[in-house]
Amino acid sequence: MRTMILVYEYMPCGTLADNLYKLSRKGKDIVPLSWEQRLKICIGAARGLEYLHSGTEYGVIHRDVKDSNILLDENFVAKISDFGLSKLEKVTQSKSYISTKVKGTVGYLDPDYIMTDRLTRKSDIYAFGVVLLVVLSGRPVVDTRTPEELQSLLSCFRECVSEGDINRIIDASLQGKLSSIVYENL
């Protein structure tokens, strides 16, 4: 009998989520990621996502892009993982989407995908935008340990933007360390 196995490269720095909200890993304290590290991780993940979408004959739509599915090697190089929900993008010129039952993680799901059951690359891009916000804030997208009005990161972000108080959403370890370009593009 033949058994097929899947072998992954060992990623000693865990997930992006581990490094953003956990205080220790295997008994060792975790130092908050610097802005430069976060930027490098985001650029690496974006390149991986771009490869999935455009780097092969048929694109791959991941369907579950989130901080806990971005693994980090010893140099904090990002690798996208967990392709259990992914779909091959075999779309035609007459149809630019895949009709499918909505699957993924609450908080990262593209609202258009939720409303129409139409999966596109844009669904992954929306989820990646949420990951960028998580990276900037250092908070999980949903945090049931906080007061109800603070549980949804997206709601908090919208409120901060509407009130013109964007600093309130930025991770305390990054305060004063971001360039003006970051603020101008929020």
Question: How many domains does the structure of the chain reveal?
Answer: 1
Query: Which tens digits make up the pLDDT trace of 19-78?
Result: 998 765 566 677 889 999 999 999 999 999 999 999 988 889 999 999 999 999 999 999
Q: Looking at 18, 29, 64, 165, which residue is catalytic? A: 64
Report if residue 182 sits inside a domain: no
Q: What's the mean pLDDT in 88-95?
A: 63
Q: Does any domain span residue 6?
A: no
DSSP assignment string, 16-73: HHHHHH-SEETTEEPPPPPHHHHHHHHHHHHHHHHHHHHSSSSEEE-S---GGGEEE-
Q: Is residue 179 part of a domain?
A: no
**Residue whose tokens read 């990002």:** 78
* 186 assigned to some structural domain: no
Answer whether residue 164 is part of any domain: yes
* 60, part of any domain: yes
**114, pLDDT greater than 60:** yes
Residues 32-46 pLDDT 10s: 899 999 999 999 999
pTM beyond 0.85: the answer is yes
Residue 100's SS3 state is: coil
Q: CATH number of the domain that 142 lies in?
A: 1.10.510.10
Residue 158 pLDDT level (bands cut at 50, 70, 90): very high
Is there a catalytic annotation at residue 165? no
**Domain span holding position 154:** 16-22+32-89+97-171
